[in-house]
Structure formats: structure tokens, C-alpha cells
Structure 1
Amino acid sequence: MVKKFYAHSLEGQPPDKWQPLEDHLKNVAEMARDFAKPFGGEQWAYLAGLWHDLGKYADTFQAKLYVENGFESHIETRPGKVVHSEAGGHLATAKGWNGADRILSWLIMGHHAGLTDYFTDEIGAKALEPKMRNSIHSEQILKNVPEIIANQAMPNQAIPPGADPAFFIRMLFSCVVDADFLDTETFMNKAKAGLRNREYPPMQFLLESFDEFMMRLCSKAKPSPVNKTRAEILKQCRHAAESKPDVFSLTVPTGGGKTLSSLAFALRHAVKYEKNRIIYVIPYTSIIEQTANVFRQIPGFEDVVIEHHSNVAETDEDKETARNRLAAENWDAPLIVTTSVQFFESLYACKTSRCRKLHNIVNSVVIFDEAQCLPPEYLRPSVFAIRELFRHYHVTPVLCTATQPVLTQTKEFDFNFREGFESVTEIVKSPGQLAERLKRVKTQLYRNDLTPVDLPEIAESIQAEEEAVLCIVNRKEDTRSLARLLPTEKTFHLSTNMCAEHRSNTLEKIKNRLINYTSPFFVISTSLVEAGVDIDFPVVYRALAGLDSIAQAAGRCNREGRLPTFGRTIIFVPKDQPRDSR
């Protein structure tokens, strides 16, 4: 009688209802292979998937399954702690596949604990090298492995020329761990798997729905210079979407409608070049919530937009919300809206939960909204990751902002950026002329100089405007202090000290108040309202900051161009202004 080996048991069910180990290995191998095929890693992913759970051929693991489910195991070995993630790596090492054994060991030995350093210098016994060397526990296990599983050829696929090996291995790792998660879920929780596996509408349908929505939106827009310019930007984005994949920039002045125009580009480009999904990478959660809500207003988009950030509530148990939470685990949805932190940290992560979604970035359009907010101290690794995705993983990046940073290769006496892009293709023609046409604000210094002023004086000046006024300061403590100096019933306070829901509710109240206000009111905020938040004030005060911050603040002033004259943005220097802002 042939001994049977199982991968997973079901509580309260006899062994003939359990998942055979060979079935699980083959399922994971085939799924991982399909995930890795678009970037040329299918042989590696298949073999790593086939061998990832060879440790479950251990008598101790099988005994553990029987005992935990109340069955007699008929195995003399006493069950205890079983490490089943190492035998596959040891098999690769035993075959003498120098180099290949290390890659496979990273993928297999890390599929539960995560990727780890090779040498022991910093992490000791947790490193890969001692695990690969210590194969004594796997020798008996590997005798139980069927020949059809064990007798495999070494992958003959090289890492793509010029590709970063660590990046390639992390992508393969994503394919294996996501395949393992999905096959296990399919067997263990069919209801959950069924919820996940419902089909999303194709990209062509989303494009057609979007075009219909934009046609209705444009037909209702009142004729104005701002709306005319927005229509031209939209037209240029649609035209540029037909261009072959490249690193693109979309340089549109604040208020130019870049959120919907960038989506027009992304959808059309995705259909033309058969991209799998669109990913929006945004620096602030306040912008994410606003952007996701804009997309959900498009008919047909209600259930395809997945928000993945720290502020997404997980208390709503309705089925669509549950499905969205599942899609957020591996980004298997047509439209993802996430943070810069989530995106870039995942690309450099080691944990399985953070890495499993990476293979779904492959062959996508990625919009980096407010690209000027990429932190300078992480600019090199961020640009390196974007460049790697473009060169080797069929990603079309779009750097979207009103104040485009220099991200091309640059060599100046004070700035050497060799890691930058070789070139960036601008989507709109003559961004400078666009900025001139959309000029609706004049910026001036408070009292025409940079003499530091007390906050009480600024509070008096704000009230003297007899208008709706937005005031942006650099520190959360200044928002509190300045708000206390203004009439409570007329003042809104915004800062990142507020929880996400409170902040969103306050922003909604401010937007509603702006629609038909008849008396002055005041909003005191940190820089969280600067980039991407769709509010429109006739007067904006801004504490002295960098030019990009001042430009973004001015973008909240006369945003729709409704004033008969220019809006006013007033720059002032608080007396206790942080030194690096002076």
C-alpha cells in the first residue's frame, strides 16, 4: 500500500477529505509559473513552487496532522515542531546546482518566515547560508519525495540582462508566496476563495464607462478659460496614451484636472498595450481618500477601486468590502490606490505578506501622483525601483505633478544624480504655456517683506480680509495656536493629529461651506491640504516654506478661476519659524 501524504487537513473531516501534498505542490507550481511568465521567471517560479513544501513529506509532519485531528497516525515518530520550508532548498543544494541552489533556497526557505540575508554577519542563525549547510534533518525527508517531484532539471533561464538580481528574486518570491496563499485558501476556505475569484470587468469596459462619464461631465461644465484648458489637457492625455510604453511625465498646473486626465491616459494606454491594471501611488492618505471617491463616482467603477493604506476601515462586513480587503492582500484588481510608503516599502520588503502583491505590479500603468513629494533622502532607491519596473517588468510609469522634480540623469557641480532616468517623455505640450494660461493667483509677501510676525497679528490680518481664508502653517502646534486666536464658530482646524475619519469629515464640511458661503470663515491647516486636495479659496496665507509648497498652496487659491480678478496668496514668516524654512 502506497503511503499517502497530505498538505492540509480539514477540521472534523477524515483524511480522504484532506488535500494531497502532491496536488498542492503542483497547483502552486503551475500558478507561480503563470505569475512569473510575463517577466521571464516561469521556470524558477515553477520549480520553487513544486519544491516549496517538500518538508511536509516528513513523517513527523504527517503524524502532526493525524494527531491534531484526533486520528491514529500509525507513525512511530512523535510529532513535534516541524520545519517544512527547508527540504526543497536542501534538494537543490544536493543536486550541486551552484548559484541556482541559492536562488531556490531563498524562495523556498523564506516562503513562511520571509526573505533573509545570506551571510550571518548581522542576523546570525537566521541567515540563509547556515540553513542551506545544515541539511541533516532533510536527508530522511527527501527519501519520501516521489521521483516525479524530485527529478527536475535546473532552470535554464538567466536573470534578464541588466536586471537587478535582488529585485528579480523578490519578484519570484512574490509569485511563489501568493500562489501558496491562494491554493491553500482555495482548499481551506472555499467561500473566501469564491469571493476573491469573482471576475472584474475588463479594461475595455472601464475605458468605455469612463469616456461616457467624461462626455457627460464636460457637457455640463460651464464655459471658462480654466475648463477650456482642462479639456485640452484631457485631449492631449488621450492622444499620448497611444504612444509606446515609456517613462512619462504629466506636468499640469494645480487645478488643471490632472486626476481625471491621468486616468484617461492610463485606461487608454492599458487597453492599447494590454496592461493588467492601473496603480495610483499617492503621498498622503487625505489625497488617496479623495482620489478613490472621485473614481468611484464613475459608473462601473464602484467595485473595482481598491484602497490600500493604513486608514482603510476593516469593520464593514458587507461582501464587497470583504472582497476589497482580499484584493488588497495581493492587488488583484483593475484599479489600486495606495500610498508611496506602501508601494516602495513593499518593493524592498522581506515579509511574505508585504511581498505577495509585487508580481501584480508587473505589466501595469503606475501613476505617481504628486511626484514632487518623493522624499529626497529616499529618492535614489525610489527612482531605481521605478526604473527597474519600467526596464524589466513592463510597467509604464507616469510622474504626475504641477511642480515636476528633476528625476533624469543629472551631473552638475552641486547635484550628481546618475541613478535618474535616461529620459522622460512629457505628455502635454508646452507645460509652461499651460501654467501661464491657468494663472489665476498673485503671490505676495505679507507687508512686502520677510520680517517675522507674531501669530496674533496674522490672526488679525486673516479676519480683516472679510473673506473665506485658508491659512497653511508648517507645524501642528501652530495650527492649534492660530485656530484658538480666531472665532470658534467661524474656524476649522486641520492637521495629521486628527484621525482619518475626523479629517475627512472636516474636509467635507469645508467643501460644503465653500459652495454658497455668505459670511467669512477660516481654515487653519498644516501642509496636508496642499497637494491634491480639491478646495478653492479666494485668499490663502502660507507660512514661508519651499517653493514647491508655496506653489501647491497657491493651487488652493481661485482654483476654478471664478473670481473676477486674481486670487491672493500671502507669504508670511512666523516669529518662531523653523530654521530650515527661513
Structure 2
Amino acid sequence: MDAKELAETYGEKIGVKHITGLAALLHDLGKYTGAFRNYILEAVNHPDLPPKRGSVDHSTAGGKLLFEMFHPSAKANPYKALLAEIVGNAIISHHSYLQDFISPELELKYLNRVQNKKIEEFETAKANFFERVMDQSSFMNYVNQAEEELKQFIIQDPSKPLAHKLMFLTKYIFSALIDADRTNTRLFEENMPHGKTDNIKELFSLYYERLISVIKEFQKKPTAKTSINLLRSEMSEQCDVFADKPSGIYTLSIPTGGGKTLASLRYALKHAKLYGKKRIIYVVPYTTIIEQNAGEVRKILQDEVNILEHHSNVVEDSDENDELQDGIMSVKQRLKLAKDNWEVPVIFTTMVQFLNVFYAKGSRNIRRLHNMSEAVLIFDEVQKVPVSCVSLFNEALNFLKTYCHSSILLCTATQPALDFVEHKLQLKPDVEIVRNLDKVIEAFKRVEIIDRATDETFNTEKLTGFIKGKIQKTSSVLVILNTKGVVKKLYEQLKASGNETKIFHLSTSMCAAHRNQILKNIRTCLGNGEKIICVSTQLIEAGVDVSFDCVIRSLAGLDSIAQAAGRCNRHGEKKMGYVYVIDHKEENLDRLPEIKKGKDISQKILTDLKNDPGCYDGNILSTKAMEKYFKEFYREFDSDLDYFIPSLEKNMMEMLTKDPNHYSYAVAYYKNKKKKFPLFLSSSFYTAAENFHVIDDKTTSVIVPFHEGKDVIAELTSLTSNATIEDLGKLMKKAQQFTINLYSQELKDLEKNGGIVSLFDGKILALKEGAYDEEFGLNIANDSQLGFLAF
């Protein structure tokens, strides 16, 4: 199967088979020349002194052909002109990222490439294409079919403007082309056929049978008849029945401890087998949750092969020309091909990775976009969508629902008001799966929230005394604070206080494998009834299955307080557990505006409850309180919801979705140049992606020398250019559990202190052993002398 056939299969999923096929058909048009033939011969004959990579431009020709044939006749046939822009941009960009139709400097970068750039032997390339690949009559017939697909695509969802719809279509076409090109190259390199023999429908049916078998076995146990387990079973049944409904965007508001993971899996498997979905994608807020959830699902489904845990992009990507020189493929190029494209049936990934697929720069992310079509996507703890990305998130989901035939489940005990903002999530009435939700929340109440934040503040010393007092009266205490600095300070003070209680520390400065080892120890201690204290950042809140007798939570957003409460008396071991909300005055939240504002709003709600205990149904975690919280929260950040880029004084929604008549850059072009903007589309794809970072301070993934991480680093160090793409892919997946993300300043400090190892010309980074230790993980000073604990 060649690149065109692959691209057609990707496009067929959303009814644009010939549009994606057209992109693949023409993407290498520039190779049909004597200049490119000589370029390849030079590369093969002189591997030690190859020609400069990209010195022969082969990616522009296909876009230029479309523009010359169809854009001048825009008045006669605007659809073919639109095709020229959409497909042409994907073609000229397939070794980097989609080009701006107009840039902040008012440059028409797409137009300059396809109209003004002189291509050596362009006429020769065209002649060879029509003679050897597809004759002109067949080509025109193929373009006409693509045109019909474009017309049908456009008439869907009349609520969205044309530019908005075509922005997502362009990204989809680009995704299909990139993946078809990379996959075709990988299969050629490994001399493998593409034949996919797995029957996904049969596989999902088998998975569903295995899940139901597990559920039936549990129902035979005596504990299955407790009121809580009966309620869990009822909600699981509701998910099963709801799966019969057509695909859409639905909410699953099961309270913490209500069996959300298995209930959502039950919905996903049944819906997938009924409606022919190709994959199930779990999206979680933090990498911490991936291993636990994936492990649980893997055990139930009894499959070690078809479940992917995608933690982070270990390999640094860039916009450099990544043209593959036949015969001299480097390790860096093999690494690019080895990156996973989400082709497996079940995937666990993070919110960062999901948003990167749609909006981040480079080809590594967007390659996966087409594989989100015909899928079931389950968003766990959906309230953790970063505020700046709310509009981008909503529009991505609307696209997946409307055009990509995907079904979406928003899972959380604290549903955010995503249909309250300007760029709303397209929710129909009756989207909630759980019936009688308020009664369910009341039935699952296992903790009392005790307000210690309204009338007093705590410092580390006072908090240490408070914790020591609580541990004398109970077996286990979990303390969750808002910043890594105060977590570390409290942990050190508790350790120095002479307390014989076991004390654990958790933060994102530790790699996933390290955190999992500590959580395993914590669960063992909890199971044995040992006295323990755990001090953690908020990473422990979402989806980590631990249950403490007492939880102390530093004041933050109401959703965070609810999640913290879910780590207390989680399984109803006691009649009631206690969660103390405190105000820690040593936390510096100036660089954490979302936490700071969430804290302020929660403080107001706590004050309301103190003044009137009956408001919000007398429960700070009620649906009324949550609705009040999220509406207030989004109102406070109203100007930030569309991903505002300060350096450009623009938001991404405008840069990507406005047509030339309303987009300020296009309007400015008209005023400055005194002539009409010459294109139908005006999206600033490249500039928007270049400025997009889910986390404000761009982070870099590095591999750490924790346990097997040392072996991973050693293997990567010893790799040669002969390494197979398959071996590289396996090593990259293994490396994910041994990575942490460094902020730019942390990376600079580590480089200054000699704590960084650079592999493959900086494409992969690793920490030296002195830059990582057993208690705190990252050691920026690079002076760790501690050996790792023998867990």
C-alpha cells in the first residue's frame, strides 16, 4: 500500500478520501526531475559528503501545480480554488508544519511558495507526473471527486463559519498526509507490508465479554451487596444502556470512588462494537494516572499488546526540513519515524498530548489527529482543562463529534461549565448518564469538609504541629499543598521533628516509575495499618487510588478540594473521614494565577456557607456549589479562554478561524497594500502553533537515571545509525516512564551545573546521576550523593 492509498483510507473515515489522496498523490511531485535524481545519486555515492539536505526543493511543486491549475479560476470555481489552498498548504508543509496564509508581518507565506518561488524543472516534473503517474483526464476526474467531498464537508454544521470548518479540515488533511508519508517510509525501510489483519470489532467484542465476566465475578462476592457497591453497579448498568445511543458528547459525573474507570470502559467497549469505532482513547490530566488506569484496564482485558501508554514526547521535534535522504537515513530520522501515531486499539494519554495534536508545532503531534476519528474518547478529570485552552478544547471536541464520527465522554465528579463560555461545547439536552445525580452524591458522601481557612492561616511550623496532632489520633494523614517548594519544606521539617511515623514525599520532580514505587510503598503501609504521613503536590488528587484516614488540603479551587476529598475514606472504611481545608500563607501563587483565583472563589463559597449553612444545599461539594464555582472561575478568566498570545496581542481562536473579511491581519493587508487579500483562507497556522504551549513556560522532557532509566540511557547512548525503527520505537516507549519535564530555567541551571547529557545532537536529553536523587527526584545542583532505595 503506497502513500496515496494509505492517505485515502485515512480520509475515507470522514468522507474526504479523494482530498487526502490528492495531497499524497502530489506531495512528491518535485521528485520527478533530473535534479532530484542527481541529488539522490550524490547522496548514495558519497555518504560521507552528502549534498545539503533539502537543497533540491521537492515539496513545493505539488502545491504549485494545484495553484496554477485551479486558483486563477477562483471566480468560476471557488471550490477548486479552496482545494488548492487546503491541499496545497499541506503539501508544501509536509517536512515542517502548515504555513501561514498570512503572517503577523503581513507576509503571504503560502502564496509566496506556490506562486512566486521558481522551481527547477517544474514543467519536467508536471510532464513526468501526467505521463508516468496519472494522465490528465484521470487527474481531473480525481480532483472533481475531491471537489464534491469538499462541498459535502462544508454543508455540515451550518452553525460554524466556513473559515472555522476549513481550518480543522486543513489540519486533518495534513495529519493524513504526514502519517501516510511516514508510515509508507517506515514500511519500506523495514520491508514490511501494511496489511492490518486485526478485526477491531471482534477485538472490542472480546474485550467487552471479558469486562462483563469480571463484573459478574465481583457480583458473586458478599461485599457486592453493600449499598455503595449496589449503587456502583447501577451506574455501571446505566453506562451500558447509554452506549446504545448515537455518538455524541456526554457527561459521566460519577462521584469519586464510584467506579468511574470501569463504568466508562463499559460504555466505550459496547459503543465501539455497536458503532464500529476503531479505537478507544483515554485522556487524563497527569502522567501519574496513566500507569494505574492502563494497568487496571490491561488486567481486565487480558491484553499486553494492544494498549498503549503515551506519556510524553521524549524526542525533541523541530521545524527543520526533515527530508529523508535515500540510503543514508540517520538515527534522528529513524527516531522521527519511530514516534507512535496512535494506531493501536486502546490508548492512554494526557491532556497536554491531546491538545498538542490539534495545536502544537511540528509533525510529531498532528500526525495522530486522523486517528481520533471513528473513536471513543474518554476524558478523565475533564475539569483540569487549562483555562487558556478551554475554547481550543471545546472546538476540537465539537470537530471530533460533528465531522469525525467520534463519541466523547467527559468524566469527573466536578463537571466544569464548558457550555457556559463563548466558544461552547455542543451539548444536547440530557447528556448526563447518571440519573438522580444529587441523590447519588449524597449517597457517596464519606467525608466532612472542615473549614480551617476562613478565620486563620498556617505556616510550615504551625502546619507541622497540626499534622503531628492528627497522626496521634489516626493512622494516616495526607497533606496536599499547592507548590513543590512548600511540599519539600514541610517534608523536611516533618523528617527533622523526630517523629517515628513513616513520611513520604511526592512531586512532579520525580519520574513516573519513581512515583509509582513510592505509591506502592504507601499502599502497602496503608494496607498494613501502619502510621504514615504523605506530603504531596496536587498530582495525587486525580485518579490515584489511595485512601487516607485524614486529609489536609491547602485552599485551592473547589474541584481540587473535591479531588482531595476523594483520597479520604475512599472506600468507606470508616463511617466518616475528615478533610481539613487550610490557608498556607507561605505558598507563592503569583506564577499560578489559576490556582490563586480558584482559591479566592473557594474562599467566598466557604464564607457563604459559614454565614448561611443552608446555601448550596448545605454542601460545599454539591452540584450547585460546583456550578457557581466554575461559572465564576470562567468569568474571571473570560479574556484568557481563547489562548491569548501577549507578544502578538492576538488570541489563537482569531488566528485560526477568522475569514479574511474579519481577521485583523488580512484587513491590515488590504489597508497597507491597497489591494484585496488574494486568498480565501487567512489562518496563521505556523505562527499560532509556534506560540502554543499548554503549559505557559515551555517544558522539555528529559530521561532520568532512575533504576531501569539508567539502562535506557545507556542503550540510547550506544545506538548507531543501523538501529531499526522498531527497536527505536520500543526504546522510546520504555523511556516514557523514566522522564520528567523541565521548565526552561531549570534546564538552563542544569546545563550550567553539568547535569545534562545530550544525545543525538540534542534531540534527546538525559540527566546525569548526580542530578537525580531518591527523595526529591530532580536535583538541579547536580550534587546528589544518595544511592537509590532498594524498593
TM-score, normalising length: structure 2: 0.64
Q: Give the match for residue 485 of structure 2.
A: 477
Provide the residue aligned with 2:110 in structure 1.
Answer: 128
Matched, 1:52 2:27: yes
Matched to 1:427, the amino acid is I
Q: How many Å separate the matches in 2 of 1:326 and 1:211?
A: 38
Instruction: Decide whether aligned partners of structure 1 residues 93 and 150 sit closer, same or farther in structure 2, where only a CA change above 3 A counts.
Output: farther
Are the counterparts in 1 of residues 446 and 572 from structure 2 also a CA contact under 8 Å? yes
Correspondence for 2:414: 403
Correspondence 1:99 to 2:99: no
Q: Distance in 2 between matches of 1:79 and 1:283?
A: 39
**What amino acid maps onto 1:102 in structure 2?**
E
Q: Match of 1:569, SS?
A: strand
1:418 and 1:312 mapped to 2: Cα distance?
33
2: distance between equivalents of 1:226 and 1:203? 29
- 1:144 aligns to 2:152 (yes or no): no
1:502 aligns with 2:510: no
Mean alpha-carbon deviation: is it higher for 254-263 or for 290-299?
A: 290-299
User: Residue 576 of structure 1 corresponds to which residue in structure 2?
Assistant: 586
Shift of 1:189: 1.3
Structural mapping, 1:78-117, within 5 Å: 81-97=55-71, 98-117=81-100
Q: Which residue of 1 aligns with 2:286?
A: 284
Moved more, 77-86 or 344-353: 77-86
The aligned residue for residue 455 of structure 2 is: 450
Instruction: Supply the distance in 2 between the matched residues of 1:79 and 1:269 (Cα, whole angstroms).
Output: 47
Contact 2:553 2:580 in 1 (8 A): yes
Q: How many residues align?
A: 530
For 2:69, give the aligned amino acid.
Answer: K
TM-superposed deviation, 1:131: 0.4
Is the counterpart of residue 298 in structure 1 residue 300 in structure 2?
Answer: yes
Q: What SS is found at the alignment partner of 1:477?
A: helix
Give the drift of 1:85. Answer: 0.9
Whole-Å Cα distance in 2 between the matches of residues 124 and 508 of structure 1?
56
Of the structure 1 ranges 180-189 and 49-58, higher mean CA displacement relative to structure 2 is found in 180-189
Alignment of 1:11-90 (within 5 A): 27-70=2-45, 81-90=55-64
1:79 CA drift (Å):
11
The residue that corresponds to 1:160 in the other structure is 154
Question: Are 1:429 and 2:435 counterparts?
Answer: yes
CA distance in 1, matches of 2:339, 2:301: 22
- After alignment, is 78-87 or 273-282 more displaced? 78-87
Deviation of residue 146 (structure 1)? 3.3
Report the counterpart of residue 524 of structure 1 in structure 2. Answer: 535
1-structure distance, mates of 2:222, 2:196: 39
1:420 to 416, 425, 432: 425
In the alignment, the residues of structure 1 paired with residue 8 and residue 231 of structure 2 have an alpha-carbon distance, to the nearest angstrom, of 47
Question: Does structure 2 retain, via aligned residues, the 8 Å contact 1:535–1:559?
Answer: yes
Distance 1:92 1:373 in 2: 43
Q: Quick one: distance in 2 between partners of 1:405 and 1:350?
A: 28
Q: 2:391 matched to which residue of 1?
A: 380
Q: Is the 8 A contact 2:486 2:586 kept in 1?
A: no
Q: In structure 2, do the counterparts of structure 1 residues 531 and 502 end up closer, same or farther at CA, with 3 Å as the change threshold?
A: same
Structure 2 distance, partners of 1:79, 1:493, is 49
Question: Distance in 2 between the 1:110 and 1:385 partners?
Answer: 22
Q: Aligned partners of 1:260 and 1:79: how far apart in 2?
A: 50
Secondary structure of 2:547 counterpart: coil
Matched, 1:515 2:520: no
What residue is the counterpart of 2:261 in the other structure? Answer: 259
* Letter of the 1:457 counterpart: K
Aligned equivalents of 1:79 and 1:402: distance in 2?
52
Residue identity (%)? 34
Alignment of 1:331-346 (within 5 A): 331-346=342-357
- The one-letter amino acid paired with 1:500 is A
Check if 1:249 corresponds to 2:245.
no
Distance 1:31 1:79, change over 3 A: closer
Find the counterpart in structure 1 of residue 782 from structure 2: none
Q: Deviations over 1:173-227 (max 9, x none)?
A: 1111211112222222126x67x95747621122112222232344347243322
- Relative to structure 1, the CA distance from residue 210 to residue 422 in structure 2 (aligned partners, 3 Å threshold; closer, same or farther) is closer
Measured in 1, the distance between the counterparts of 2:53 and 2:269 equals 54
Cα distance, 1:334 vs structure 2: 0.8
1-side partners of 2:395 and 2:388: how far apart?
13
SS of the aligned residue for 2:303 comes to coil
Q: CA 1:105 to 1:176, structure 2 compared with 1: closer, same or farther past 3 Å?
A: same
| Mapped partners of 1:462, 1:549: distance in 2 | 20
Does 2:505 correspond to 1:493? yes
Residue 273 of structure 2 aligns with an amino acid whose one-letter code is V
Query: In 2, Cα distance between the equivalents of 1:356 and 1:464?
Result: 54
- The Cα shift of 1:274 comes to 1.0
Post-superposition CA distance 1:336-370 (Å, at most 9, x none): 11111111121123422221111110011111110
Q: CA 1:120/1:546 → structure 2, altered by over 3 Å: closer, same or farther?
A: closer
How far apart, CA to CA, are the structure 1 residues paired with 2:54 and 2:96?
A: 19
RMSD: 2.7
Amino acid aligned to 2:230: K
Q: Is the 8 A contact 2:280 2:376 kept in 1?
A: yes
Contact 2:382 2:416 in 1 (8 A): yes
- Measured against aligned partners, the alpha-carbon deviations of 1:286-314 in whole angstroms (never above 9, x if no partner) come to 0112111111112433221111122889x
Shift of 1:423: 2.4
Report SS of the residue matched to 2:425: coil
The answer to whether the Cα contact below 8 Å between 2:450 and 2:581 also exists between their aligned partners in 1 is yes
With over 3 angstroms needed to count, the CA separation of the structure-2 counterparts of 1:381 and 1:30, relative to structure 1, is same
1:74 counterpart residue number: none
Do structure 1's residue 222 and structure 2's residue 197 form an aligned pair? no
Q: Give 1:500 deviation, angstroms.
A: 2.3
CA shift in 2, pair 1:328/1:398, >3 Å:
farther
Asked if the contact 2:239/2:433 (under 8 Å) is kept, the reply is yes
Q: Which ranges in structure 2 are unaligned for 5 or more consecutive residues?
A: 72-80, 316-335, 590-595, 601-791
What residue number does 2:467 align with? 462
Cα distance in 1 for residues equivalent to 2:364 and 2:313: 18
Offset of 1:422 from its aligned partner? 4.0
Counterpart code for 2:398: R
Query: Matches of 1:509 and 1:326 in 2, distance apart?
Result: 38
Q: What CA deviation, in whole Å up to 9, does each residue of 1:480-509 have, x standing for no partner?
A: 111122237610011112222211211111
| Residue in 1 that maps onto 2:214 | 213
Higher relative contact order structure (alpha carbons within 8 Å, sequence separation ≥ 6): 2
Judged with a 3 Å threshold, the aligned counterparts in structure 2 of structure 1 residues 575 and 93 are, in CA distance, closer, same or farther, namely: closer
Does the CA-based 8 Å contact 1:60-1:80 persist in structure 2? Answer: no
Over residues 462-521 of structure 1, what are the superposed CA-to-partner deviations in whole Å (9 max), with x where a residue is unaligned? 222222110111111111111122237610011112222211211111111111124x21
**Helix, strand or coil: the match of 1:337?**
strand
Q: Within 1, Cα distance between the matches of 2:339 and 2:277?
A: 19
Q: 1:445 to 1:369 in 2, by over 3 A?
A: same
1:361 match: 372
Q: How big is the shift at 1:537?
A: 0.7
In the alignment, is the contact (CA less than 8 A) between 2:548 and 2:570 conserved in 1? yes
Q: Residues 251 and 135 (structure 1 numbering): CA distance in 2 closer, same or farther, change over 3 Å?
A: same
